[in-house]
Structure 1
Amino acid sequence: MKASGRNIDVFIEGNFPDNRMVGGKYAIDSDSITIYTEEIKKQCKLIFSSLARFEDYLKIVFAHELGHAQDKELEKLINKRKNAKNSYEKDQLSLKIEQNAWDYAKSILPFMDDAFFNKIVDVSLEAYRNKISRTAS
């Protein structure tokens, strides 16, 4: 948080309430971040078969959520997504929102192992990219 220069409310919870494997959530209306530690553990084990780098994984997820908070385009992109003409446009905007947050996370975690960081990003964005690919064809 220090790297972002922001003072934002952060909440730590165990599981995401919607039965999805969501590690963190930025709430634009309250300008707050909630981190779901049990979901991050599940993701870490699923992707890396271990919790050995759980703390690094958590830092990356938190930096990603800070990325949403710092995104000057976020509100505009959300509004465009709400008014999207079709699912393809909506999916592209969702991907842009996520990519912006990942780009910010990378900028404040330059010391993080690239292979580790990029694997998390690739897995995170895979569903968005697949959805766009399916709707484009």
Structure 2
Amino acid sequence: MSGSGVSVNIKSRFPGGRNVGGKYSIGDHSVTMYLGEIKKQCMTLFGSLDGYEAMLRIVFAHELGHAEDPMLSELSEEMDMCQTGLERKRIALRIEENAWDYARNLVPVQDRQMMETVIFYSLEAYREAIALESAQEIA
């Protein structure tokens, strides 16, 4: 549906203990989906695996959003040159928002409410980190 040429890998767990459902690699233009992590996310957010297939579609659409983001290389370079942690966090949020904006066009209508919940919790940590650092700069 997306027309993407990205290659896709499937694994059970994300290495390193973080709960990451998918990861885009700009170096080899590939997406790796971590099915066990997506199951954990589904259980954490919704209390059951009833929506697992929708959750998988949502996370995959988000990773495709990274793969197809025409601004990703530029934003990644900007992030590497940031002078402050706050700048870095704002760019990271922008990268995530871009991917979610793309994903919204791919996810079926019946999954939209679930998707908005996933987006809210996905972006919450980025927004809280920005708010905290902004408050510290003001103080």
Partner of 2:19: 21
TM-score w.r.t. length of structure 1: 0.96
Q: What are the Cα deviations for residues 46-68 of structure 1, in whole angstroms up to 9, with x where unaligned?
A: 00000001000000000000000
Equivalent position amino acid for 2:94 in 1: K
Q: Which residue is 1:43 aligned to?
A: 41
Greater shift, 114-123 or 39-48, is seen at 114-123
Query: Aligned residues: percent identity?
Result: 44
The answer to whether the Cα contact below 8 Å between 2:12 and 2:37 also exists between their aligned partners in 1 is yes
SS of aligned partner of 1:50:
coil
Q: Which amino acid aligns with 2:47?
A: S
Deviations 1:52-94, CA, capped at 9 Å, x for gaps:
0100000000000000000000000000011011000000000
5+ long unaligned stretches in structure 2? none
The SS at the match of 1:26 is: strand
| Structure 1 segments of 4+ aligned residues over 4 angstroms from their partners | none
Q: What displacement does 1:115 show? A: 2.1
Q: Is 1:5 matched with 2:3? A: yes
Unmatched 5+ stretches in structure 1: none
Correspondence for 2:74 = 76
CA contact (8 A) 2:54 2:111 kept: no
Which has the higher mean CA deviation after the structures are superposed, 51-60 or 109-118?
109-118
- Aligned partner of 1:54 in structure 2 is 52
Deviation at 1:110, TM superposition (A): 4.5
**What per-residue deviation string (whole Å, max 9, x for no partner) do you get for residues 19-58 of structure 1?**
1000000000000000000000000000000000100000
In structure 2, distance between residues paired with 1:37 and 1:74: 25
Q: CA deviation at 1:108?
A: 1.4
- In the alignment, structure 1 residue 64 sits paired with structure 2 residue 62: yes
**Number of residue pairs the alignment of both structures matches:** 135
- Counterpart secondary structure, 1:113: helix
Selected match of 1:126 from 120, 124, 127:
124
Instruction: Give, in whole Å, the separation in 2 of the partners of 1:112 and 1:11.
Output: 26
Q: CA separation in 2, counterparts of 1:61 and 1:113?
A: 12
Partner of 1:117: 115
Q: CA deviation at 1:18?
A: 1.4
